């Protein structure tokens, strides 16, 4: 199961907080179908990615209630937590950097906190997309709800495609393979993006 985090509604569509939704939409496009209304207050699509039966999920609640959809589907499908991939933005990563990890805290991310609380464990896979820190004096809450500016937009379009690739690598090759391929630091990451 791949859960993309974001806020519903057209006004949030291009916000920094919605990169998780963008990745799920890309994966749906690769399957060749659109997401439809599903249970657990979510939009869903069941399909095959490289022969792996996958459920794509976009919660229809606001970010701070994302756990309802994630936990509902995880329990309904009796998935091991390592079979749940949550894709979300990360303020603490430089713009357009990817990081794949399993476990850990929520780092102040309300969507991740909601998922953690709803499933009762941190032991799910995360694909984190760097959206950069707020400008000097800007509140984090405002920063995450802003769209990317023109200088950033090309890099973000590339990184959401790479994040979708990373999800497919997770499905095909597993966590270690994906982490080795996508958890690249510093200048070499910038050249790849």
In this structure, what CATH number is given to the domain that contains residue 97? 3.40.50.1470
Within 32-148, where are the H helices?
67-76, 110-119, 140-145
Q: What's the pLDDT at 184? A: 76
Q: What's the pLDDT at 140? A: 86
Q: What's the pLDDT at 151? A: 87
Longest dimension (CA), the chain: 48
Q: What's the pLDDT at 188? A: 40
Residue 191 has pLDDT above 60, yes or no: no
Residue 17 appears among annotated catalytic residues: yes
Within 53-149, where are the H helices?
67-76, 110-119, 140-145
Averaged confidence pLDDT in the chain: 92
> Quick one: which H or E segment has residue 78?
none
**pLDDT tens readout for residues 62-95:** 999 999 999 999 999 999 999 999 999 999 999 9
**pLDDT tens readout for residues 4-33:** 999 999 999 999 999 999 999 999 999 999
Catalytic residue among 17, 40, 88, 109: 17
Output the CA–CA distances (angstroms, integers) from residue 10 to 6, 18, 119, 171, in the order listed.
Answer: 11, 11, 28, 30
Q: Is the dihedral of CA 156, 160, 165, 171 positive or negative?
A: positive
**pLDDT tens readout for residues 131-171:** 988 888 888 888 899 999 888 989 999 999 999 999 999 99
- Per the structure, the count of domains in the chain is 1
β-bridge pairing 2-4 and 98-102: unpaired
Residue 192 has pLDDT above 70, yes or no: no
Domain membership of residue 89 as a residue range: 2-192
């Amino acid at each position: 199961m791949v859960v993309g985090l974001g806020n519903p509604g057209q006004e949030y569509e291009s916000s920094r907080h919605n990169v998780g939704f963008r990745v799920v939409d890309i994966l749906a496009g690769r399957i060749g179908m659109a997401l439809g209304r599903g249970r657990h207050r979510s939009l869903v699509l069941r399909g095959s990615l490289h022969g792996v039966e996958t459920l794509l999920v976009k919660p229809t609640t606001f970010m701070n209630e994302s756990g309802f959809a994630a936990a509902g589907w995880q329990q309904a499908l009796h998935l091991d937590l390592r079979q749940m991939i949550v894709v979300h933005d990360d303020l603490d990563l430089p713009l357009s950097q990817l990081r794949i990890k399993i476990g850990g805290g929520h780092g102040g991310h309300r969507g991740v906190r909601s998922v953690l609380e709803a499933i009762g464990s941190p032991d799910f896979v995360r694909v984190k997309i760097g959206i950069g820190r707020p400008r000097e004096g800007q509140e984090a809450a405002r920063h995450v709800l802003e769209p990317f500016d023109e200088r950033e937009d090309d890099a973000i379009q590339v990184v959401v495609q790479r994040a979708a690739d990373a999800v497919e690598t997770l499905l095909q090759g597993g966590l270690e393979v994906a982490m080795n391929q996508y958890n690249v630091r510093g200048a070499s990451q910038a050249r790849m993006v």
